[in-house]
Amino acid sequence: MAEPFIVFGAPLIGEEEIAEVVATLRSGWIGTGPRALAFEEAFRDYTGAAHAVAVNSCTAGMHLALIVAGVGAGDEVITTPMTFCATANVILHVGAVPVFVDVDKATLNIDPNRIEAAVTPRTRAILPVHMAGRPCDIDAVRAVAARHALTVIEDAAHCVEGRVGERRIGSISELTCFSFYATKNLTTAEGGMVTTSRADWAEALRRYRLHGLDQDAWKRYGPGGVRHYEAVVPGFKYNLSDLQAAMGLPQLRRLEQNLKRREEVWAIYDAAFVGLALTVPAAPAAGTRHARHLYTLLVDEARAGVTRDTFRERLNAMGVGTGVHFIAVHLHAYYRERFGFKPEDFPNAAWISERTVSLPLSAKLTDREVERVVEAVKGSLG
């Protein structure tokens, strides 16, 4: 009998999450309320941030972060092309222009040495990404930002557990955005969080995430009494529900334990692939902690004897799911057509796009599944 297909990015959902969701359903309060508030407080404490505001996606968080930072029509935001398209899309949503800076081939992160040359009088922010869970050189990014009075908004969708020295990701820059999508290290099925060092921005984020109202539903209908509300800004429907937060609370409590398991799987992969005609992820920078979100191989046909896509097809046929993170944003049709981008504009990102493949990496993986992934990788070359 064939062994089950190994789904890429399958989350580890335990009985504790199920019990919390059931308790939430039985409570009668399933929208944004006490559990969402508790999740915000727990996440704030985990990251060491001054404030944490829950939203329904990292995309929503980045959109709101740009708004509260004052980025608008005609402004420019420097970011990386080696990311999910949402990172660039939100810049367009506020009427600004994404300005891409190429990445380092080894780290897949934005090359801080190239950022300064991209700054213009219209630049208002830098939006770096901690790609695959590896913290970017955030101090170098912030140094450029400081010289030009720019806001740094970190895309930490992959990097909940990341650290730079003793500082946790989420406590370093003015604004940091996290994802709790189904495949992420901490999942609420869909969801996100914005951390910020500024109380006024936290207040603005809370208003913008729920239609611009000055009172959320918990304040209006909860035990605090009857209150009227009014719209004070033209906001959005970006709030996180208590049902989602009910998943997030036990996920957060188990986050460090799950990271240890992913680190074990990562080490097995590293050891197994020594000597193969593949490029494995670079070691984390000294003094940082990698969140181990994506284990990305680079499959170069000249070395491996197989294209990346054929390699993926062979893995799939052996029952192993994979992902591609990412096809660089400047290669997507909309960005090509609107901005006239060519692959060679950001050659490192384009080179990675043709070769990158992500292997299953989850605390849910069994030893046998990890063994099967290794066997499939070795059997798919040449």
Express each pLDDT in 74-94 by its tens digit. 999 999 999 999 999 999 999
The verdict on 356 and 247 lying in the same domain is no
| Two tokens, residue 223 | 């035990």
Cα 224 from Cα 304, distance rounded (Å): 64
pLDDT averaged over every residue in the chain? 96
So what's the pLDDT on residue 228?
79
Transcribe 25-80 into DSSP letters: HHHT--SSSHHHHHHHHHHHHHHT-SEEEEES-HHHHHHHHHHHTT--TT-EEEE-
- Listed in sequence order, the residues at least 6 apart from 53 whose beta carbon sits closer than 8 Å to its beta carbon are 40, 61, 193, 194, 195, 196, 202, 205, 206, 209
- Listed in sequence order, the residues at least 6 apart from 130 whose beta carbon sits closer than 8 Å to its beta carbon are 109, 136, 154, 155, 156, 157, 158, 159, 162, 169, 291
Q: What is the CATH number of the domain that holds 226?
A: 3.40.640.10
Residue where a domain stops, chosen among 253, 268, 287? 253
2 within domain boundaries: no
pLDDT band of residue 226 (cuts 50, 70, 90) is low
The verdict on 322 and 221 lying in the same domain is no
> How far is residue 113 from each of residues 47, 116, 176, 282, 307, measured CA to CA in Å?
28, 7, 22, 19, 31
In the three-class reduction of DSSP (H, G, I as helix; E, B as strand; rest coil), residue 143 is classed as: helix
Kindly tell me if the per-residue pLDDT of 217 is higher than 90.
no
The verdict on 164 and 282 lying in the same domain is no
So what's the pLDDT on residue 221?
58
Residue where a domain stops, chosen among 208, 228, 253? 253
Strands 356-359 and 295-298: antiparallel
52 within domain boundaries: yes
| Two tokens, residue 95 | 């009427």
Cα 210 from Cα 236, distance rounded (Å): 6
Kindly tell me if the per-residue pLDDT of 192 is higher than 70.
yes
So what's the pLDDT on residue 225?
60
Give residue-wise pLDDT tens across range 265-280. 999 999 999 999 999 9
28 within domain boundaries: yes
The verdict on 263 and 241 lying in the same domain is no
**DSSP letter, residue 6:** B
133 within domain boundaries: yes
Can you give the pTM of this predicted structure? 0.96
Give residue-wise pLDDT tens across range 146-171. 999 999 999 999 999 999 999 999 99
So what's the pLDDT on residue 220?
52
Q: Based on the number of CB atoms within 10 Å of its own CB, is 353 exposed (0-12), middle (13-18) or buried (19 or more)?
A: buried
The verdict on 196 and 267 lying in the same domain is no
The verdict on 245 and 287 lying in the same domain is no
Q: What is the CATH number of the domain that holds 363?
A: 3.90.1150.10
Give residue-wise pLDDT tens across range 5-21. 999 999 999 999 999 99
| Phi, psi at 265, each rounded to 5° | -65, -45
So what's the pLDDT on residue 229?
83
The verdict on 244 and 262 lying in the same domain is no
CA nearest neighbour of 206 among 215, 198, 197: 215
How many domains does the chain divide into? 2
Q: What is the mean pLDDT of residues 115-126?
A: 98
Q: Which residue has tokens 């000249």?
A: 302
Cα 68 from Cα 98, distance rounded (Å): 17
Give residue-wise pLDDT tens across range 36-51. 999 999 999 999 999 9
Residue where a domain stops, chosen among 195, 225, 253? 253
| Two tokens, residue 249 | 């609370």
Kindly tell me if the per-residue pLDDT of 374 is higher than 60.
yes
- What is the biggest distance separating any 2 CA atoms in the chain, rounded to whole angstroms? 69
Cα 310 from Cα 5, distance rounded (Å): 18
So what's the pLDDT on residue 19?
98
Domain span at 272: 255-379
**Contact between residue 243 and residue 214 where contact means Cβ atoms under 8 Å apart:** no
47 within domain boundaries: yes
Kindly tell me if the per-residue pLDDT of 234 is higher than 70.
yes
The residues pairing with 279 across neighbouring beta strands, listed in sequence order, are 298
4 within domain boundaries: no
Q: What is the mean pLDDT of residues 84-107?
A: 98
8 within domain boundaries: no
| Two tokens, residue 276 | 């193969």
Q: Count the Cβ atoms, other than its own, within 10 Å of residue 3.
A: 10
Percentage of the chain with pLDDT > 90? 95
The verdict on 259 and 246 lying in the same domain is no
| Two tokens, residue 144 | 């450029």
Give residue-wise pLDDT tens across range 316-348. 999 999 999 999 999 999 999 999 999 999 999
The verdict on 49 and 102 lying in the same domain is yes
The verdict on 167 and 44 lying in the same domain is yes
CA nearest neighbour of 83 among 103, 63, 69: 103
CA nearest neighbour of 65 among 214, 217, 230, 236: 236
The verdict on 219 and 359 lying in the same domain is no
Kindly tell me if the per-residue pLDDT of 216 is higher than 90.
no
Percentage of the chain with pLDDT > 70? 97
So what's the pLDDT on residue 34?
96
The verdict on 219 and 281 lying in the same domain is no
Q: Spell 278-300 as b/e; 16+ CB within 10 A means b.
A: bbbbeebeeebbbbbbbbbbbbb
Q: What is the mean pLDDT of residues 220-235?
A: 74
So what's the pLDDT on residue 224?
61
10 within domain boundaries: no
Kindly tell me if the per-residue pLDDT of 219 is higher than 90.
no
Q: Count the Cβ atoms, other than its own, within 10 Å of residue 336.
A: 15
Residue numbers annotated as active site: 184
So what's the pLDDT on residue 215?
75
